[in-house]
Amino acid sequence: MTYCVGLFLNEGLVLLSDTRTNAGVDNISVFAKQHLFQRDGDRSIVAMTAGNLAVSQAVINLVQEGLEHPDTGEIETIYSVHSMFAAASLVGAAVRQVYRSHGPTMKDQGVPFDVSVLLGGQLAGRTMRLFQVYAAGNFINATHDTPFLQVGEHKYGKPILDRAVTPDTPLLDGVKLALISMDSTLRSNLSVGLPLDLTVYPRDSLDLSRTWRITEDDEYFRDLRAGWSEALRAAYRELPAVPYSL
Amino acid sequence: MTYCVGLFLNEGLVLLSDTRTNAGVDNISVFAKQHLFQRDGDRSIVAMTAGNLAVSQAVINLVQEGLEHPDTGEIETIYSVHSMFAAASLVGAAVRQVYRSHGPTMKDQGVPFDVSVLLGGQLAGRTMRLFQVYAAGNFINATHDTPFLQVGEHKYGKPILDRAVTPDTPLLDGVKLALISMDSTLRSNLSVGLPLDLTVYPRDSLDLSRTWRITEDDEYFRDLRAGWSEALRAAYRELPAVPYSL
């Protein structure tokens, strides 16, 4: 399993992913699920993947190697597309190509064709976007009404996002909320694990240098986890007492 | 879908369930999922069910009508069993009987045989127990290490329980925590809905009179939901700022 979350804020993007992959609980590994495509002054694109690792790695390879555009016949890569919409279309096309080549055998062997991709970023002179690409290659994008997207094990970490993330959330508050959301997930699902990869993309910066890997030794994250647990316990205690008499 | 949660506390049991059933989002209904079996001074047993409604209703009917015990050949009902363990075994036997009669046709028609039951209570002179019965009729029970069990849509409401419920949690605090857990679920999954059924069973009371139905008009629950949202937002703001500079 995996948990990746992307916040689509007025100030920019917050992109956080774990690094655990597993084939059964007795076979876990560390694989980055966050892939950065940067060309200074031209484009800053980040893909975060969940699902079958062979499928998601194939997709990431294909968008870099390039795919033939169905209309123009030209080879397009993540570095040549002219918009984030085209980037999402390219990822979708890559997903369908992998489905055509691996899907039938995976189906025969009872392995679900399971992949989803969060794709965020911006091209020079264009608007910043955040997309979620599904296993069919189709996709949606985050809007002001729903300023976050999640892939993988999304349920445990959703309640805090539902309540606290708005488009106006400052970037560093967004980081804090994404880390809290990840903490709830780490705590409840063993197949999501440290270290974490974090990228913050300030809108219009065209710069992907703000990346951090958060390990078990990260003092801030350790304190945040303990502090959040304590804050939740304090918060429920401070709510009005239940009015039922026993 | 459904969400039922049971807390197994030193002071007693807290049992909370929603009432929404749905066959598609365009066909929702209110059905109680909490069933009380009370014989004063002798036994207090509560079953909460999740899964296919036809299956769970059949199970509840069977444990009241009675099933033949495989060893003794005698007819056992939820009112004749001699322990909570025997009650859980009876529910399990009922699940398997429904599986034998309905399972093959359901499988033919692609309908999953999906049922799970939380069964809590106490018999005179015996210990209080809380069981979770699976669709195979097998079961587990809550212990001091894991003093709560959930069936149905359990993920959204788990983080707060993980962090705040201990065996020492007082009964009324347990009610508050169960309601908070339910609130997170209601907020994120449309197929879980009000009204709620709540039963509090004080250990050794053999009394199931402490039951409440919580509707949309319930002022305390409405205030709790608003207060919890506000408390979460305040809690995250009060945590130390993220140390990364952008």
Domain ranges across chain B: 3-237
List residues of A whose CB lies inside 8 A of any B CB. Answer: 155-156, 158-160, 162-164, 171-173, 175-177, 179-180, 184, 187-188, 200, 202, 210, 212, 220, 223-224, 227-229, 231-244, 246
Long-range contacts from B99-102, C-beta under 8 angstroms, 24+ separation: B99/B135, B99/B136, B99/B137, B102/B54, B102/B55, B102/B58
- On whether the CB atoms of residues B83 and B89 are closer than 8 A, the answer is no
User: Smallest Cα–Cα separation from B178: which of B147, B207, B209, B204?
Assistant: B147
In terms of pLDDT, which residue wins out, A49 or B71? A49
- On whether the CB atoms of residues B162 and A188 are closer than 8 A, the answer is yes
Using CA atoms, how far residue B27 sits from B68, B187, B192, in Å, is 37, 19, 13
Cβ pair A177:B236 closer than 8 A: yes
pLDDT at position A148, please? 97
Strand partners, A28: A22
User: Tens of pLDDT along chain B (246 residues)?
Assistant: 799 999 999 999 999 999 988 777 677 778 889 999 999 999 999 999 999 999 999 999 999 999 998 888 899 999 999 999 999 999 999 999 999 999 999 999 999 999 999 999 999 999 999 999 999 999 999 999 999 999 999 999 999 999 999 999 999 999 999 999 999 999 888 878 899 999 999 999 999 999 999 999 999 999 999 999 999 999 999 999 999 988
Class at the top of the CATH hierarchy for domain A3-238: alpha beta
Query: CA–CA separation, A143 vs B200, rounded Å?
Result: 43
pLDDT at A71 over 90: no
Interface residue of A7, A182, A244 to substitute, partner B, most B CBs within 10 Å: A244
Give helix B219-238 / helix A171-188 axis angle, nearest 10°: 110
pLDDT at position B57, please? 94
Query: CA–CA separation, B3 vs A214, rounded Å?
Result: 34
Comparing CB atoms, the residue among A156, A237, A244 nearest residue B212 is A244
pLDDT at position A109, please? 95
Q: Classify domain B3-237 by CATH architecture.
A: 4-Layer Sandwich (3.60)
Instruction: Kindly report the nearest CA distance between residue A93 and chain B, in angstroms.
Output: 31
What is residue B74's three-state secondary structure?
A: coil
Query: CA–CA separation, B117 vs B192, rounded Å?
Result: 16
State yes or no: cis peptide before A195, omega within 30 of 0: yes
Cβ pair B236:A228 closer than 8 A: yes
pLDDT at position A7, please? 98
pLDDT at position A187, please? 87
DSSP state of B242: P
ipTM of the complex: 0.83
Query: What's the token pair of residue B105?
Result: 């046709």
List residues of B whose CB lies inside 8 A of any A CB. Answer: 155-156, 158-160, 162-164, 171-173, 175-177, 179-180, 184, 187-188, 200, 202, 210, 212, 220, 223-224, 227-229, 231-244, 246
